[in-house]
Chain A
């Protein structure tokens, strides 16, 4: 086991920024330390070797950044969240002539496709536009392809059933070369694009912003800034959805939202 110290981590963050332009300074240090240590252990490297490796720039440093930011996702992850979106948010949004949703930190598109299916089953898809953003070009390009492994699809199907989906998940994809390819029709109203929550600003006004399992990566100060961005991106009475263990606590915006579901961390902007 190779363990990095906090002092070493700070130097590494600086060097990564110089080489790649990617800035980890707003990220939670304890998690970064854990991940960097695991990276070294996994690749049987010590710190000097890591420096030599990332000095190559390009793919080497990019892969390192990728491993330091978790990209794990599932379709219909936390199925009860989707049940709640259906009953508490979509019923409200029904009255809107046009619905704009933002999935911030969308990984390979799992959540965006789930939302598309949910909207479709609620009969709202045709007047909805889903913006799905991430800072990783790599996960975005895989999201644009809409291709998932069949192994993962099995978990996703279970989630879909638990989320009380109306059909079978397999109604929304076809199998080609042993992969699941999401229907093109679903892709039609999803825009995948690059957006860095720590650097880029407001780009539209939304009725719903879902930023799940992303906040957990940021430190207190950065988190406040990201909350400000999400708050400003929401129209009045718009909904904010966070991950299972992500609350508004310490956000600075506790007063601006009312709780729709305290367990699933769904909030509505009220001022």
Chain B
């Protein structure tokens, strides 16, 4: 009989651009207990952004936060932030790969790059979410994840600070679940702490 790993790696992916930072901050605060997933945040930031997000958010959670280095293993119960000026890819060997290929939608890191690599890695994706932003980045990655049968969520553009990014995702694929203002954080919390099989 094969022993089932009680806690196999699974990913929760979050993408956003302008207007998403405050949401990300709230999401980090939701992580009050150990997580049975790896959470990966990709937010557009300038090439020379020095802000170290794990450092900035340190007071908000006790869960481990990292800006992954090239080839670091992806593990559950850790919150990751893509570093500036590189795409952050997830490999089938459950390691991170930094990539310096051209920008997507003028962005590096690009959300599509991370989402598409995760979708192709064969690693289970518990959920992928896209929030406020002024670019079209992320929409096609999110669509691919949905088409692979994983749960996808989009912030309701009506209450996004900048609606373009979530609106584009919805226009490319009608089946995403919509996160509304009144219960967005309850929903995300239940995703983070669902013990899906």
Give Cα distance in the complex from A28 to B179, angstroms.
36
- Asked if B101 and A30 make an inter-chain contact with CB atoms under 8 angstroms apart, the answer reads no
Residues from chain B with Cβ under 8 Å of A244 in the complex: 85
- Asked if B89 and A30 make an inter-chain contact with CB atoms under 8 angstroms apart, the answer reads yes
Whether B140 sits at the interface, judged by CB under 8 Å, is yes
- Asked if A31 and B101 make an inter-chain contact with CB atoms under 8 angstroms apart, the answer reads yes
- Asked if B89 and A34 make an inter-chain contact with CB atoms under 8 angstroms apart, the answer reads yes
Residues from chain B with Cβ under 8 Å of A72 in the complex: 100
Give Cα distance in the complex from A249 to B69, angstroms.
9
Q: Which 5 A-B pairs have the closest CB atoms?
A: A30-B89, A30-B97, A30-B91, A31-B99, A28-B97
Whether B178 sits at the interface, judged by CB under 8 Å, is no
- Asked if A34 and B71 make an inter-chain contact with CB atoms under 8 angstroms apart, the answer reads no
CB-defined A-B contacts under 8 Å, sample of 11: A6-B92, A6-B120, A30-B99, A30-B117, A31-B97, A33-B120, A34-B87, A34-B89, A34-B113, A220-B71, A249-B72
Whether B165 sits at the interface, judged by CB under 8 Å, is no
Shortest Cβ distance from A251 into B: residue? B71
Shortest Cβ distance from B110 into A: residue? A34
Whether B158 sits at the interface, judged by CB under 8 Å, is no
Residue total for A at the interface (Cβ-Cβ under 8 A)? 26
Whether A70 sits at the interface, judged by CB under 8 Å, is yes
Q: How far is the CB of A66 from chain B (nearest CB, A)?
A: 14
Q: How far is the CB of B17 from chain A (nearest CB, A)?
A: 20
Known A30-B90, A34-B89; contact A246-B101, beta-carbon cutoff 8 A? no
Residues from chain A with Cβ under 8 Å of B72 in the complex: 249
Known A3-B120, A3-B144, A245-B69; contact A70-B101, beta-carbon cutoff 8 A? yes
Residues of A within 8 A of B (CB): 1, 3, 5-6, 28-31, 33-35, 37-38, 70, 72, 213, 215-216, 220, 223, 244-247, 249-250
Whether B102 sits at the interface, judged by CB under 8 Å, is yes
Residues from chain A with Cβ under 8 Å of B90 in the complex: 30
Shortest Cβ distance from A245 into B: residue? B98
Give Cα distance in the complex from A24 to B71, angstroms.
18
Residue total for B at the interface (Cβ-Cβ under 8 A)? 26
Give Cα distance in the complex from A244 to B100, angstroms.
11
Q: How far is the CB of B150 from chain A (nearest CB, A)?
A: 16
Give Cα distance in the complex from A174 to B11, angstroms.
54
Give Cα distance in the complex from A6 to B120, angstroms.
8
- Asked if B70 and A34 make an inter-chain contact with CB atoms under 8 angstroms apart, the answer reads no
Q: How far is the CB of A239 from chain B (nearest CB, A)?
A: 21
Give Cα distance in the complex from A215 to B102, angstroms.
17
Whether B83 sits at the interface, judged by CB under 8 Å, is yes
Shortest Cβ distance from B86 into A: residue? A245
- Asked if A249 and B71 make an inter-chain contact with CB atoms under 8 angstroms apart, the answer reads yes
- Asked if B102 and A34 make an inter-chain contact with CB atoms under 8 angstroms apart, the answer reads no
Give Cα distance in the complex from A216 to B140, angstroms.
26
The answer, among A3, A31, A223, A247, for a CB contact under 8 Å with B69, is A247
Whether B184 sits at the interface, judged by CB under 8 Å, is no
Shortest Cβ distance from A70 into B: residue? B100
Task: Mark contacts of B147-171 with chain A using CB atoms, 8 A cut-off: 1 yes-contact digit, 0 otherwise.
Answer: 0000000000000000000000000
Whether B116 sits at the interface, judged by CB under 8 Å, is yes
Give Cα distance in the complex from A1 to B137, angstroms.
13
Give Cα distance in the complex from A38 to B117, angstroms.
13
- Asked if B99 and A34 make an inter-chain contact with CB atoms under 8 angstroms apart, the answer reads yes
Q: How far is the CB of B166 from chain A (nearest CB, A)?
A: 19
Give Cα distance in the complex from A34 to B97, angstroms.
11
- Asked if B70 and A5 make an inter-chain contact with CB atoms under 8 angstroms apart, the answer reads no
Given contacts A6-B120, A30-B121, A249-B70, 16 further A-B contacts (CB under 8 A): A3-B116, A31-B99, A31-B101, A34-B87, A34-B99, A34-B116, A70-B101, A72-B100, A216-B70, A244-B85, A245-B83, A245-B86, A247-B69, A247-B70, A249-B69, A249-B71
Give Cα distance in the complex from A270 to B89, angstroms.
34
Task: Mark contacts of B44-76 with chain A using CB atoms, 8 A cut-off: 1 yes-contact digit, 0 otherwise.
Answer: 000000000000000000000000011110000
Residues from chain B with Cβ under 8 Å of A249 in the complex: 69-72
